[in-house]
Structure 1
Amino acid sequence: MRRIFLLICLALTVTGCARIAQSNLNPMNWFGSSTVVRSDPIVRQRQPLIAQAPVAYADPRPLVLEVTELEVERTAYGALVRATGMTRADGYYNVQLTEEGYEGGTLVYAFRASPAPAPQQPGTPQTRRVTVARDLSARDLAGVSAIRVVAAGNARVTSR
Protein backbone atom coordinates (compact mmCIF):
# COMPACT_ATOMS: atom_id res chain seq x y z
CA MET A 1 0.00 0.00 0.00
CA ARG A 2 2.81 2.34 0.84
CA ARG A 3 4.57 1.77 -2.49
CA ILE A 4 1.41 2.46 -4.46
CA PHE A 5 0.89 5.76 -2.61
CA LEU A 6 4.50 6.85 -3.32
CA LEU A 7 4.19 5.91 -7.01
CA ILE A 8 0.99 7.94 -7.37
CA CYS A 9 2.62 10.98 -5.70
CA LEU A 10 5.68 10.67 -7.93
CA ALA A 11 3.54 10.38 -11.08
CA LEU A 12 1.54 13.50 -10.15
CA THR A 13 4.71 15.47 -9.42
CA VAL A 14 6.35 14.57 -12.72
CA THR A 15 3.25 15.47 -14.76
CA GLY A 16 3.18 18.90 -13.10
CA CYS A 17 6.68 19.67 -14.39
CA ALA A 18 5.47 19.86 -17.99
CA ARG A 19 3.05 22.65 -17.17
CA ILE A 20 5.64 24.70 -15.25
CA ALA A 21 8.11 24.47 -18.12
CA GLN A 22 5.69 26.33 -20.40
CA SER A 23 4.29 28.75 -17.82
CA ASN A 24 5.34 32.25 -16.86
CA LEU A 25 6.73 30.90 -13.60
CA ASN A 26 9.73 29.53 -15.48
CA PRO A 27 12.40 32.28 -15.72
CA MET A 28 13.54 30.92 -19.09
CA ASN A 29 10.19 32.02 -20.59
CA TRP A 30 10.15 35.60 -19.29
CA PHE A 31 11.48 37.24 -22.48
CA GLY A 32 9.92 34.87 -24.98
CA SER A 33 11.50 33.73 -28.21
CA SER A 34 13.26 36.00 -30.66
CA THR A 35 11.74 37.12 -33.94
CA VAL A 36 13.25 38.43 -37.15
CA VAL A 37 12.72 42.17 -37.70
CA ARG A 38 13.62 44.52 -40.51
CA SER A 39 16.78 46.54 -39.80
CA ASP A 40 16.34 50.23 -39.14
CA PRO A 41 18.42 52.37 -41.54
CA ILE A 42 18.70 55.10 -38.88
CA VAL A 43 20.52 52.72 -36.55
CA ARG A 44 23.42 52.51 -38.98
CA GLN A 45 23.85 56.31 -38.88
CA ARG A 46 23.91 56.68 -35.09
CA GLN A 47 27.11 57.58 -33.28
CA PRO A 48 29.09 54.74 -31.70
CA LEU A 49 29.05 54.30 -27.93
CA ILE A 50 32.76 55.08 -27.69
CA ALA A 51 33.63 58.51 -29.06
CA GLN A 52 36.01 58.54 -32.00
CA ALA A 53 37.79 61.72 -30.90
CA PRO A 54 38.03 63.22 -27.43
CA VAL A 55 35.42 65.87 -26.76
CA ALA A 56 36.64 69.15 -25.27
CA TYR A 57 35.15 69.74 -21.84
CA ALA A 58 35.51 72.97 -19.90
CA ASP A 59 35.52 72.20 -16.18
CA PRO A 60 33.37 74.83 -14.43
CA ARG A 61 35.08 74.33 -11.06
CA PRO A 62 37.55 77.07 -10.11
CA LEU A 63 41.19 76.42 -9.30
CA VAL A 64 42.10 76.32 -5.62
CA LEU A 65 43.88 79.41 -4.31
CA GLU A 66 47.34 77.85 -4.00
CA VAL A 67 49.17 74.52 -3.91
CA THR A 68 51.05 74.14 -0.62
CA GLU A 69 52.40 70.58 -0.94
CA LEU A 70 53.03 68.16 -3.79
CA GLU A 71 54.32 64.63 -3.31
CA VAL A 72 54.66 61.64 -5.63
CA GLU A 73 54.81 58.29 -3.85
CA ARG A 74 55.80 55.12 -5.66
CA THR A 75 53.35 52.24 -5.62
CA ALA A 76 53.58 48.67 -6.88
CA TYR A 77 51.79 49.61 -10.10
CA GLY A 78 53.00 53.18 -10.70
CA ALA A 79 52.72 56.26 -8.50
CA LEU A 80 50.32 58.21 -6.31
CA VAL A 81 50.31 61.99 -6.81
CA ARG A 82 49.18 63.78 -3.65
CA ALA A 83 48.59 67.53 -3.53
CA THR A 84 47.49 69.78 -0.67
CA GLY A 85 46.20 73.29 -1.19
CA MET A 86 44.30 76.22 0.27
CA THR A 87 40.85 77.30 -0.85
CA ARG A 88 39.41 80.81 -0.69
CA ALA A 89 36.85 79.91 2.02
CA ASP A 90 35.44 76.99 3.98
CA GLY A 91 33.10 74.45 2.39
CA TYR A 92 34.88 73.52 -0.84
CA TYR A 93 34.22 69.95 -1.97
CA ASN A 94 34.62 67.68 -5.03
CA VAL A 95 38.36 68.27 -5.07
CA GLN A 96 40.18 66.76 -8.04
CA LEU A 97 43.39 66.87 -10.05
CA THR A 98 42.25 67.22 -13.66
CA GLU A 99 44.67 66.43 -16.44
CA GLU A 100 45.42 69.53 -18.50
CA GLY A 101 48.01 68.13 -20.85
CA TYR A 102 51.50 66.88 -21.50
CA GLU A 103 54.26 69.39 -22.28
CA GLY A 104 57.77 68.18 -23.10
CA GLY A 105 57.90 65.30 -20.64
CA THR A 106 55.85 67.11 -17.97
CA LEU A 107 52.34 66.00 -16.98
CA VAL A 108 50.24 69.05 -16.11
CA TYR A 109 47.30 68.84 -13.70
CA ALA A 110 44.87 71.54 -12.56
CA PHE A 111 43.92 71.53 -8.87
CA ARG A 112 40.15 72.17 -8.91
CA ALA A 113 37.40 72.23 -6.27
CA SER A 114 33.70 73.10 -6.20
CA PRO A 115 32.73 75.96 -3.89
CA ALA A 116 30.01 75.55 -1.28
CA PRO A 117 26.47 76.25 -2.57
CA ALA A 118 25.99 79.04 -0.02
CA PRO A 119 28.60 81.70 0.84
CA GLN A 120 30.91 80.59 3.65
CA GLN A 121 33.15 82.36 6.15
CA PRO A 122 36.81 82.71 5.12
CA GLY A 123 37.83 80.41 7.97
CA THR A 124 41.26 79.58 9.31
CA PRO A 125 44.06 78.10 7.19
CA GLN A 126 43.45 74.72 8.84
CA THR A 127 39.79 74.63 7.77
CA ARG A 128 40.52 75.82 4.22
CA ARG A 129 43.08 73.07 3.59
CA VAL A 130 42.14 70.39 1.03
CA THR A 131 44.06 67.30 -0.05
CA VAL A 132 43.60 65.19 -3.17
CA ALA A 133 45.37 62.18 -4.65
CA ARG A 134 45.49 60.68 -8.12
CA ASP A 135 46.70 57.22 -9.04
CA LEU A 136 48.96 56.91 -12.08
CA SER A 137 49.90 53.61 -13.66
CA ALA A 138 53.36 52.77 -14.95
CA ARG A 139 51.92 53.19 -18.43
CA ASP A 140 50.76 56.74 -17.57
CA LEU A 141 54.26 57.55 -16.31
CA ALA A 142 56.10 56.29 -19.40
CA GLY A 143 58.19 59.17 -20.77
CA VAL A 144 57.25 61.51 -17.92
CA SER A 145 60.12 63.35 -16.24
CA ALA A 146 58.09 65.83 -14.16
CA ILE A 147 54.60 66.42 -12.77
CA ARG A 148 53.21 69.95 -12.45
CA VAL A 149 50.12 70.92 -10.43
CA VAL A 150 48.63 74.34 -11.20
CA ALA A 151 46.49 76.46 -8.85
CA ALA A 152 45.14 80.01 -9.20
CA GLY A 153 48.05 81.65 -7.37
CA ASN A 154 50.96 79.29 -7.96
CA ALA A 155 52.10 75.96 -9.33
CA ARG A 156 54.33 73.22 -7.95
CA VAL A 157 56.54 70.84 -9.92
CA THR A 158 58.20 67.62 -8.87
CA SER A 159 60.62 65.72 -11.07
CA ARG A 160 62.33 62.34 -11.10
Structure 2
Amino acid sequence: MSDLCLIFGRPKVKGKEAFLAALRKAQVESGCVIQAMDASLIVGESHATLAAEKAIRAFSEEKNVAKDLGLEILRYASGKRQIGRALTMGVSEETERIALIVVENGTPPKISDIIEIDGEGPCWSRAAVREAFEIGEAEIEAAGEERIPDIVLERVALMDAYR
Protein backbone atom coordinates (compact mmCIF):
# COMPACT_ATOMS: atom_id res chain seq x y z
CA MET A 1 0.00 0.00 0.00
CA SER A 2 1.13 3.57 -0.65
CA ASP A 3 2.34 5.74 2.21
CA LEU A 4 -0.32 8.01 3.66
CA CYS A 5 0.39 11.35 5.26
CA LEU A 6 -2.12 13.68 6.92
CA ILE A 7 -1.20 17.34 7.25
CA PHE A 8 -3.19 20.14 8.88
CA GLY A 9 -2.61 23.81 8.28
CA ARG A 10 -3.83 27.13 6.98
CA PRO A 11 -3.83 27.97 3.28
CA LYS A 12 -1.04 30.28 2.11
CA VAL A 13 -2.52 30.56 -1.37
CA LYS A 14 -5.61 32.75 -1.22
CA GLY A 15 -8.75 31.94 -3.19
CA LYS A 16 -10.16 28.49 -3.80
CA GLU A 17 -9.22 28.24 -7.49
CA ALA A 18 -5.65 29.47 -6.95
CA PHE A 19 -5.25 27.08 -4.00
CA LEU A 20 -6.50 24.10 -6.02
CA ALA A 21 -4.26 25.06 -8.95
CA ALA A 22 -1.24 25.12 -6.60
CA LEU A 23 -2.24 21.68 -5.28
CA ARG A 24 -2.54 20.27 -8.80
CA LYS A 25 0.92 21.62 -9.63
CA ALA A 26 2.38 19.96 -6.50
CA GLN A 27 0.68 16.69 -7.49
CA VAL A 28 2.12 16.76 -11.00
CA GLU A 29 5.62 17.63 -9.78
CA SER A 30 5.67 14.90 -7.11
CA GLY A 31 3.56 12.18 -8.70
CA CYS A 32 1.57 11.97 -5.45
CA VAL A 33 -2.16 12.24 -4.90
CA ILE A 34 -3.03 15.19 -2.68
CA GLN A 35 -6.62 15.67 -1.53
CA ALA A 36 -7.55 18.82 0.37
CA MET A 37 -10.50 18.91 2.74
CA ASP A 38 -12.02 21.41 5.11
CA ALA A 39 -10.36 20.51 8.43
CA SER A 40 -13.45 21.54 10.41
CA LEU A 41 -15.15 18.39 9.03
CA ILE A 42 -12.37 15.89 9.85
CA VAL A 43 -13.15 14.36 13.27
CA GLY A 44 -9.76 12.72 13.71
CA GLU A 45 -6.77 11.20 11.99
CA SER A 46 -8.58 7.84 11.86
CA HIS A 47 -11.38 9.49 9.84
CA ALA A 48 -9.02 10.71 7.12
CA THR A 49 -6.84 7.59 7.01
CA LEU A 50 -9.82 5.21 6.92
CA ALA A 51 -11.28 7.17 4.00
CA ALA A 52 -7.96 7.08 2.14
CA GLU A 53 -7.43 3.36 2.79
CA LYS A 54 -10.95 2.50 1.62
CA ALA A 55 -10.51 4.63 -1.52
CA ILE A 56 -7.19 2.98 -2.35
CA ARG A 57 -8.76 -0.44 -1.82
CA ALA A 58 -11.71 0.50 -4.05
CA PHE A 59 -9.29 1.44 -6.83
CA SER A 60 -7.23 -1.73 -6.42
CA GLU A 61 -10.41 -3.85 -6.59
CA GLU A 62 -11.80 -1.73 -9.46
CA LYS A 63 -14.86 -0.83 -7.37
CA ASN A 64 -14.22 2.92 -7.37
CA VAL A 65 -17.00 5.34 -8.26
CA ALA A 66 -14.80 8.37 -9.00
CA LYS A 67 -12.20 8.24 -11.77
CA ASP A 68 -9.74 10.18 -9.61
CA LEU A 69 -8.26 8.77 -6.36
CA GLY A 70 -8.46 12.17 -4.68
CA LEU A 71 -12.19 12.41 -5.38
CA GLU A 72 -12.67 8.83 -4.20
CA ILE A 73 -10.95 9.76 -0.92
CA LEU A 74 -13.24 12.78 -0.62
CA ARG A 75 -16.26 10.58 -1.33
CA TYR A 76 -15.34 8.15 1.45
CA ALA A 77 -14.42 10.94 3.88
CA SER A 78 -17.81 12.56 3.34
CA GLY A 79 -19.75 9.33 3.79
CA LYS A 80 -21.64 10.24 0.61
CA ARG A 81 -21.93 7.98 -2.41
CA GLN A 82 -22.54 10.79 -4.90
CA ILE A 83 -19.46 12.77 -5.89
CA GLY A 84 -21.42 16.02 -6.12
CA ARG A 85 -22.58 15.69 -2.51
CA ALA A 86 -19.08 14.67 -1.39
CA LEU A 87 -17.62 17.93 -2.68
CA THR A 88 -19.04 19.69 0.40
CA MET A 89 -16.09 18.16 2.33
CA GLY A 90 -13.64 19.93 0.05
CA VAL A 91 -12.11 23.36 0.19
CA SER A 92 -14.36 26.40 -0.20
CA GLU A 93 -13.78 30.14 -0.07
CA GLU A 94 -14.80 29.98 3.62
CA THR A 95 -12.30 27.24 4.56
CA GLU A 96 -9.95 28.48 7.28
CA ARG A 97 -7.98 25.28 7.95
CA ILE A 98 -7.06 22.56 5.52
CA ALA A 99 -6.57 18.84 6.03
CA LEU A 100 -4.37 17.38 3.29
CA ILE A 101 -4.27 13.66 2.68
CA VAL A 102 -1.15 12.82 0.72
CA VAL A 103 -0.81 9.42 -0.92
CA GLU A 104 2.91 9.22 -1.61
CA ASN A 105 4.01 7.25 -4.64
CA GLY A 106 7.50 8.61 -4.91
CA THR A 107 8.88 12.04 -4.16
CA PRO A 108 7.14 13.78 -1.24
CA PRO A 109 5.34 16.89 -2.51
CA LYS A 110 6.56 20.37 -1.69
CA ILE A 111 3.59 21.85 0.11
CA SER A 112 5.24 24.53 2.23
CA ASP A 113 4.33 27.14 -0.41
CA ILE A 114 0.68 26.04 -0.35
CA ILE A 115 -0.16 25.67 3.34
CA GLU A 116 1.32 26.79 6.62
CA ILE A 117 1.49 23.64 8.72
CA ASP A 118 0.18 24.48 12.17
CA GLY A 119 0.60 21.15 13.95
CA GLU A 120 -2.78 21.54 15.67
CA GLY A 121 -4.26 18.35 14.25
CA PRO A 122 -8.01 17.86 13.99
CA CYS A 123 -10.08 20.75 15.40
CA TRP A 124 -13.52 19.91 14.08
CA SER A 125 -16.73 21.86 14.49
CA ARG A 126 -19.62 19.96 16.09
CA ALA A 127 -22.24 22.03 14.27
CA ALA A 128 -20.51 21.72 10.89
CA VAL A 129 -19.95 17.96 11.29
CA ARG A 130 -23.55 17.35 12.39
CA GLU A 131 -24.79 19.24 9.33
CA ALA A 132 -22.35 17.69 6.84
CA PHE A 133 -23.01 14.12 8.02
CA GLU A 134 -26.72 14.70 8.64
CA ILE A 135 -26.52 13.63 12.28
CA GLY A 136 -29.92 14.32 13.76
CA GLU A 137 -31.18 14.76 17.30
CA ALA A 138 -32.34 11.14 17.50
CA GLU A 139 -28.80 9.88 16.85
CA ILE A 140 -27.35 12.32 19.38
CA GLU A 141 -29.91 11.26 21.99
CA ALA A 142 -29.19 7.58 21.34
CA ALA A 143 -25.39 7.75 21.15
CA GLY A 144 -24.48 10.96 22.96
CA GLU A 145 -22.75 14.12 21.74
CA GLU A 146 -19.32 12.68 22.60
CA ARG A 147 -19.87 9.84 20.10
CA ILE A 148 -20.07 12.09 17.03
CA PRO A 149 -16.62 10.90 15.81
CA ASP A 150 -17.82 7.29 16.07
CA ILE A 151 -20.96 8.11 14.07
CA VAL A 152 -18.80 9.70 11.34
CA LEU A 153 -16.44 6.69 11.25
CA GLU A 154 -19.47 4.42 10.95
CA ARG A 155 -20.69 6.43 7.93
CA VAL A 156 -17.26 6.03 6.28
CA ALA A 157 -17.06 2.33 7.12
CA LEU A 158 -20.55 1.63 5.75
CA MET A 159 -19.95 3.34 2.38
CA ASP A 160 -19.33 0.01 0.66
CA ALA A 161 -22.60 -1.39 1.99
CA TYR A 162 -24.57 1.19 0.00
CA ARG A 163 -23.59 -0.04 -3.45
TM-score by length of 1: 0.23
Name the structure where helix makes up a greater proportion of residues: 2
Higher relative contact order (CA 8 A, sep 6+): 2
Asked which structure has the greater CA Rg, the reply is 1
